[in-house]
Chain A
Amino acid sequence: MRTAPAIALGVLVALGLPPAAVGQQGDAAAGKGVYERKCALCHGDQGDGQGPGAERLVPRPRDFTSGLFKVRTSANQTPSDRDLFDVITNGMPGTSMPGWSTLPEKDRWSLVAYVKTFAPERFKEPAKKLELPKEVGSSADSIERGREMFEAIECNKCHGTEGRGDGPSRPELKDEWGFPIAPANLTRRWTFRGGKSRTDIATRLAAGVLGTPMPAFLDSVEKPEDIWHLTNYIVSLGPEEPRTVSLVTVGAVSDDIPVDPDAELWKTQRPQDIVLAGQVIIEPRNFNLAIDLVTLRAVHNGRDIAFHLTWDDPTESKAEPDKKVFADVIALQFPPGSAPGEARPYFLMGDANDPVYLLRWEQGKGAAEVTAHGPDTLTPIAGSEVAAKAVYSHGQYRLVLKRALVAKDTARASFAPGVFTPVAFQAWDGGAGEAGAKMSLTTWYPLTLEEPRSNRRFVVPPLVAVLTFAAMVLIIRSANRRHHL
């Protein structure tokens, strides 16, 4: 059979080749070469975290000469070789350290050996394996016990009551080198530096994060297994991954749309996570953005359209020009008019010739409709008809912006089912000094309005089934007639 080798090949490819046996003893001399090519631009030739890229990064690149490593599975301060290898391989989520799984495994072990030479004193004492308490699975009781522990051992002091990194100690936190450091937002597991699995989280809780204010808690909890209750509570705080979309969908509803962001309707709508990046095209550039994710829910009812926006911001700030504090702002951007052609305005708030239309909300001022000819040229549109209500609680804004589906004039955007309308997002954390061009933003997304759910999906399939049935009966009949002739 000719297919036999093909199957054998398919099975082999599907199973993957057996992993090659790789020595875990890296070669520090070989590691030096890899380090200079791949690591030195941030971590510096001397391993002191002072490479040319360091100045613009928050968190800053690790200073290896200190021998302090954030992510370790050891009970003492020495990380195991495997810990270093895993960080090189997987990177540090939520920072600018990427995973280097593209490098051959041998090179990564060599890097481990070389990185250790920057702090030989630290590695004189071998790593002592941390024994985690016996694992406790997640349950409502365990999560509740974890929530109590969260307050009892004062996690909320830094991480905030609801875990969004907005605790009262936040402004004072400094790392080992005296740089300000932000407590983790526990509702975003995908940014946890040492990984998001339950074992990763329990290990960080038990062993702490060296070089940061995060202490080891294995001895401060009441019973060792509380580490797992805390883990289960933290896991319950947010999704495993952001729920990103490539198409923004506005759902169809038949009733009036509430402006209250905590109304029941919004809990039934699909969350669509929009990832934002820093604006680095024009001055002032924003390399370390504050708001990197906005969650959108949107509905229309044939007359009105409403956007429900949720984003985390550890401080609620209004404009106080004398204190150099700016207002928190969020904006949805659309091309003006109703017939989006092929060409669009420049995604960075338009330009002198092609303006954009903004639905813009500012803390302390409320919502407005604005025409923008670039980030520094905003003109409010007279007779704004956008209704808005915002709630701020425990490090999170929730906002509803609502207006008529069809606009009064062509300075505003109009919406209709069946067309893709471009939309872009912009956000400013005034408390972090963001204002004007210093913002976070996206490029254009397509946005579509769902048609009110038609009954077509209930009519067409039975029709298809009945017609197929009839055709089959006919075929059987004609086959039998011919057979009996």
Chain B
Amino acid sequence: MRFLRSRFLQAVIVLVVAFCVFRFGIRPPAPWSVIKLYMAVVALAVLVHISSDSDSWRDFLRPIRDTLTRPERRFVRAVLVVLIPVLLGYYAYSVAAARPEAPPQLRAIHPAPPPSLSFRGKEMNLQGLENPLRKDQASLARHAAAGGAIYIQNCFYCHGDNLDGKGHFAPAFNPPPANFEDPGTIAQLPEAYLFWRIAKGGPGLPRESTPWDSAMPAWEDRLTEEQIWQVIVYVYEATGQRPRRWQEH
């Protein structure tokens, strides 16, 4: 196993193993950009390690120099001189012939809410606003059931029975409907924020959230104040998420 002591081979083995772990060992699969970044870090670490003392560095360079100079390696040399330019040329072709991709969407997903809103002529202060239905814990189950009926008649087309944003209308819309199961959505938001989003819908978004793109209706036209609070109770109850609390002052 003497060849395993070769610094060059060790470096190659570490790189191959690291690639296999990043590519196949991570579930769900990591995107290529992340794998590239990790591989760059590993390659850098390997270089730092083998160049830490001059013996090791010389040991690492020896097979490379041998391949470049030794007469008996002439064949390997010739193959490399042809293969590497061909591979790079192929890479350049795949970049030059690539089809254009959709431009990235730059929009604020959870924009700052306004301090207050006008709901059917009634001024509501959003800061510190709590869901009034939670005061009466005894009726909460009844409100959740009513919210479920509202949800199934109005919301599930886009947001889905599973509340995962995969309703049967969802593929037609970009931005996609919110996924309430995702810990990054309703679990991060106070209930008053949901009230604002439901009441004012896509057209009520600020400019940085591209209101012209959103297919979310403004539900103040169709649902009463109590119905909106009921459906909010339902989405938290059905997903098992908890609303974010207002910070105590």
Contact = CB atoms under 8 A, between A and B. Distances in A.
B101 interface: yes
Nearest to B171: A275
If over half of B's interface residues share one DSSP class (helix, strand or loop), that class is named, otherwise mixed; here it is helix
B25 A343 contact: no
Interface in A1-45: 3, 6-7, 9-11, 13-14, 37-38, 41-42
A281 B217 contact: yes
A81 to B, nearest CB: 22
Contacts of A56: 153
B31 interface: no
Contact of A278 (B162, B169, B212, B213): B169
Contact of A460 (B92, B207, B213): B92
Interface string A335-354: 00000000111111000001
Contacts of A98: 160-162, 166, 168
A53 B156 contact: yes
A10 B96 contact: no
Which among B151, B158, B168, B174 has the greatest number of chain A C-beta atoms within 10 A? B168
What class of interface size applies to chain B in its complex with A? 35 or more
Contact of B212 (A11, A276, A347): A347
A480 interface: yes
Contact of B96 (A444, A445, A457): A457
B203 A346 contact: yes
Contact of A480 (B68, B99, B173, B211): B68
Contact of B65 (A14, A448, A462, A483): A483
Contact of B20 (A7, A246, A480): A7
A443 B210 CA distance: 12
A140 interface: no
B220 interface: no
B217 A280 contact: yes
A6 B153 CA distance: 50
A391 interface: no
A278 B213 CA distance: 16
**Which of A95, A465, A483 gathers most chain B CB within 10 Å?**
A465
Nearest to A54: B152
B238 interface: yes
B215 A281 contact: yes
Contacts of A462: 89
B24 interface: yes
Given A246-B102, A443-B215, A472-B85, A461 B162 contact: no
Contacts of A476: 68-69, 77, 81
Contacts of B86: 465
Contacts of A7: 17, 20-21
A473 interface: yes
A37 B26 CA distance: 34
Interface string B208-245: 00111111010000000000000000000010000000
Contacts, number: 170
Nearest to A248: B102
A280 B157 contact: yes
A464 B213 contact: no
A450 B152 CA distance: 43
A220 interface: no
Interface string B66-83: 001100000001001110
Contacts of A450: 100
A247 B213 contact: no
Given A444-B213, A472-B84, A476-B81, A277 B161 contact: no
B88 A468 contact: yes
B187 to A, nearest CB: 17
Contacts of B14: 3
Nearest to B68: A479
A277 B169 contact: yes
B115 interface: no
Contact of A420 (B20, B93, B103): B103
Interface of A: 3, 6-7, 9-11, 13-14, 37-38, 41-42, 51-53, 55-56, 95-96, 98, 100, 102, 244, 246-247, 249, 275-278, 280-282, 287, 343-348, 354, 420, 440-446, 448, 450, 456-457, 460-466, 468-469, 472-473, 475-476, 479-480, 483
11 contacts: A3-B17, A51-B152, A53-B152, A56-B153, A98-B160, A275-B172, A277-B157, A278-B169, A281-B201, A448-B100, A472-B84
